[in-house]
Structure 1
Amino acid sequence: MPVTQHLTRTPARDTLAPHHVHKHNPAEVLLTGLDTLRPDTFTVTATWPTHHPFYTPTPHLNDPLIFIETIRQCFPLLAHHAYHLPHGHHLIWQYLTADINPHAMHHTPHHPAHLTLHLTCSDIRQRPGGHLTALTLHAIALRNGTHLGTAQTRFSAHSPTIYQRIRGTHPNTPTTPPPPTHPTHVNRHHPHDVVLAPTPHPHHWLLRNDTTHPTLFDHPVDHTPGMLLLEAARQATHATHHTTHTHTHTHTHTHTNSSSTRAHTNNGNGNGNGNGNGNSDTHTNPSTGTGTGTATLTRPTTHTHTTLPATPPPYPTHIHATFLQFLEYTTPTHITTTTQTNPTSTTTGTNPGTNPHTTTHITATQNNHTAFTSTITTTPHP
């Protein structure tokens, strides 16, 4: 029989209390319950709000990063309540792989999304007679019985003493982040939610560690949070895919100078416009070399403007990330991307090659050391 954990809940909400998932703001809590089915096997329930201030839906689809945040919140919940890790211990992300079914991610503006996550833990490490030190989490997520996604991720756990030994001496005074890139380039609406700053180099950005952001820095931390790095990977993917359509419009304006009538002859030596006083608007017909009469001048004028793509941005369906070392938010972090398109990939219901998957490789470096890598595979918006 499942054993329902007796967990405190937020007053007037159906979600767990924030400390269960290492959050301060109750509005950021997505998990609603935990059942133990058997050793190392659990069911977790979650609810996605109809509107989230940061994980905002793309057109008609929920943000894929809200799925990742749901998985992340399972870390502390299981560590503390299933494996008895004391509060105050630190959890460190090692890697994440997630696959998302976009057809189950449809956003319903007036109804929260209710999820059931089937969780299995493996490769569990504990000190002899002591606390949890690491585990791998496998998750299968359902939404109203429909397969929504899967995830596999691993984290390690450390006591405050060991964590301080790992971190050593590091600066912790926040610095002012550089100005953001344009929100539309990264599929965002507000500059405050942009985590990338432009550089002169293509496919190269600086990471913005805005410690005042209410979601990404829900509580004080001493390094760049993992969810911020995943958001940077997602925004860099959108920026790499971002294209603009330049439309050229040609307008013909006819100017008539009726007060000045001149005759000009083009004799082929370039002197046909003779006096060059700017009052003559008579142009000869090049086929005859002569021309007289009331001045008319036709000048084509080109106007160029840039518009955003009419189609929605591609949707992430596969995300992999590896966290190699801590990133200090007081030191510049460089984000770069490369892309690879599989022209033979298809989307259900389309012809081969018409809707290719594109994989973007994202790298974050600091002090010339690679600290974070990610690959995001996108498909055209369903």
Structure 2
Amino acid sequence: MAASLKFLQPVSRQMVHRAAVAEVFVTDAFPMGDDRYLVAAQWPRDHALYHPDASGLTDPLLLTETVRQALVYLAHEYYEIPLDYRFIGCDTDFEITDPEALLVGDAPLHVVLDARWSWVDNKPPRRFGMRLEVVVTVAGRECGRGSLRVFAVDERRYGLLRWRGAGDRADDGGQGNKGAVVTRMPTTAVGRLRAKDCVLGRTDTGEWRLLFDLKHAVLFDHPGDHIPLMVTLEGFRQLGHHLVGHRPGVPQGSVLSTLRMDCLAFAELDEPVLLDVEEQNSPSDRPGTTRLRVTALQRNSVIATAAMVWAPPSHLDAPDDTRSLAGAGRA
């Protein structure tokens, strides 16, 4: 089926809501009928942020970003949702089932998403609600799955949603003004290569904080009025990487194999975002598996949650319970 894709012209960066051409991963889409599409993507051998891990495994968040781009592209190209509509994330998930297919070699990975579109809580033209579910293949080899649910509204309705009860925004890099001393974690502790890619901090009182830099070329590819879903997701991943890497009895090289994230509210730029984490392991888990639930809080309210499964490369088959977490909202 992948052979049916025809690379007629590059996908415009505007069609996937990216400012930089280098950050566009979706290359084409082919309609198969009944709201099903084959979406082609190319994943780079290396990337400033979404780089392979020490074993050469592709960054799993590259899948999440590709699903996001695929949904936005299909919305504009095939469902006539206007380019100036604002897309607001509700929930996303992924599962890596065959990591060997995602090992980086001597050429970029050519990925095909077998994507199914569905309308969820859809109230056009005032509000478009949609979900995209994908099965991921590389060279015809199925290796994972993922999904994303969002809704899209025009600028006026976005303004009503966005600023209802909100005060003035401030650019303080996520530190807040609560007086705590925040130390950014070293890159080696969070699986990143550059200091500016670390979004995880620890306060002198032992709290985990989400940090961010509005000038970051990838995480803040274009200006926004709130913390993007992908920034919060990166914070969840970095916290998990740090904790799993320092957990007794966990094999070195454990990877994030399964994730489910639910967004409940906008994450503001002017208040600290605290990250709370707890282990939720089960006696039935395979040896070396670590299950974490991370909660992001702002102004004492939950703004997002994530359930993650970290596993050794040979133990990537995860039970389905991380998919059953309910929740919806805005981020």
- For the pair 1:27 / 2:22, whether they are aligned, the reply is yes
Which residue of 1 is the match for residue 307 of structure 2?
A: 375
Q: Which moved more, 1:175-184 or 1:113-122?
A: 175-184
The CA distance in 1 between the partners of 2:156 and 2:108, in whole Å, is 41
Structure 1 residues 88 and 55: CA distance shift in structure 2, 3 A: same
The CA distance in 1 between the partners of 2:291 and 2:122, in whole Å, is 37
How much has 1:182 moved relative to structure 2?
Answer: 1.5
* 8 A Cα contact 1:31 1:47, kept in partner: yes
The CA distance in 2 between the partners of 1:235 and 1:72, in whole Å, is 20
Structure 1 residues 164 and 32: CA distance shift in structure 2, 3 A: same
* 8 A Cα contact 2:244 2:290, kept in partner: no
- For the pair 1:133 / 2:128, whether they are aligned, the reply is yes
* 8 A Cα contact 1:85 1:132, kept in partner: no
Which residue of 1 is the match for residue 321 of structure 2?
A: none
Which residue of 2 is the match for residue 38 of structure 1?
A: 33
Secondary structure of residue in 1 paired with 2:53: coil
* 8 A Cα contact 1:312 1:381, kept in partner: no
Which residue of 2 is the match for residue 186 of structure 1?
A: 190
How much has 1:212 moved relative to structure 2?
Answer: 1.0
Q: Deviations over 1:40-75 (max 9, x none)?
A: 111100000111111011022111111111111112
The CA distance in 1 between the partners of 2:120 and 2:4, in whole Å, is 21
Paired residue type of 1:106: L
Q: Which moved more, 1:357-366 or 1:172-181?
A: 172-181
How much has 1:154 moved relative to structure 2?
Answer: 0.9
How much has 1:5 moved relative to structure 2?
Answer: 9.2
Secondary structure of residue in 2 paired with 1:86: coil
Secondary structure of residue in 2 paired with 1:157: strand
* 8 A Cα contact 2:67 2:147, kept in partner: no
Q: Deviations over 1:267-287 (max 9, x none)?
A: xxxxxxxxxxxxxxxxxxxxx
- Answer 1 or 2: which has greater strand percent: 1
Which residue of 1 is the match for residue 322 of structure 2?
A: none
Q: Deviations over 1:175-204 (max 9, x none)?
A: 1455411211111222111001112455x3
How much has 1:123 moved relative to structure 2?
Answer: 3.1
- For the pair 1:214 / 2:217, whether they are aligned, the reply is yes
The CA distance in 1 between the partners of 2:168 and 2:308, in whole Å, is 31
Which residue of 2 is the match for residue 252 of structure 1?
A: none
Structure 1 residues 126 and 192: CA distance shift in structure 2, 3 A: same
| From 113, 117, 125, the counterpart of 1:121 | 117
How much has 1:161 moved relative to structure 2?
Answer: 0.4
Which residue of 2 is the match for residue 335 of structure 1?
A: 275
Q: TM-score, normalised by structure 1?
A: 0.74
* 8 A Cα contact 1:84 1:131, kept in partner: no
- For the pair 1:231 / 2:237, whether they are aligned, the reply is no
Q: Deviations over 1:224-259 (max 9, x none)?
A: 0000111111011112223289xxxxxxxxxxxxxx
How much has 1:340 moved relative to structure 2?
Answer: 2.5
Q: TM-score, normalised by structure 2?
A: 0.84
How much has 1:22 moved relative to structure 2?
Answer: 0.2
Percent identity reads: 27
* 8 A Cα contact 2:226 2:267, kept in partner: yes
How much has 1:134 moved relative to structure 2?
Answer: 0.4
Higher relative contact order (CA 8 A, sep 6+): 2
* Counterparts of residues 1-382 of structure 1 (less than 5 Å): 9=10, 16-59=11-54, 60-101=56-97, 102-108=99-105, 110-124=106-120, 126-127=122-123, 130=125, 133-168=128-163, 169-178=166-175, 179-201=183-205, 204-243=207-246, 312-346=252-286, 355-382=287-314
Q: Which moved more, 1:332-341 or 1:314-323?
A: 332-341
* 8 A Cα contact 1:240 1:337, kept in partner: no
The CA distance in 2 between the partners of 1:175 and 1:62, in whole Å, is 32
The CA distance in 2 between the partners of 1:42 and 1:244, in whole Å, is 42
* 8 A Cα contact 2:133 2:147, kept in partner: yes
Structure 1 residues 107 and 367: CA distance shift in structure 2, 3 A: same
* 8 A Cα contact 1:195 1:207, kept in partner: yes
* 8 A Cα contact 1:342 1:357, kept in partner: no
Secondary structure of residue in 2 paired with 1:76: helix
* 8 A Cα contact 1:209 1:329, kept in partner: no
Q: Deviations over 1:128-182 (max 9, x none)?
A: 5x36610121111101111121112211011100000001144333214554112
Secondary structure of residue in 2 paired with 1:336: strand
Structure 1 residues 223 and 8: CA distance shift in structure 2, 3 A: farther
For structure 2, the 5+ residue unaligned runs are 176-182, 315-331
* 8 A Cα contact 1:175 1:330, kept in partner: yes
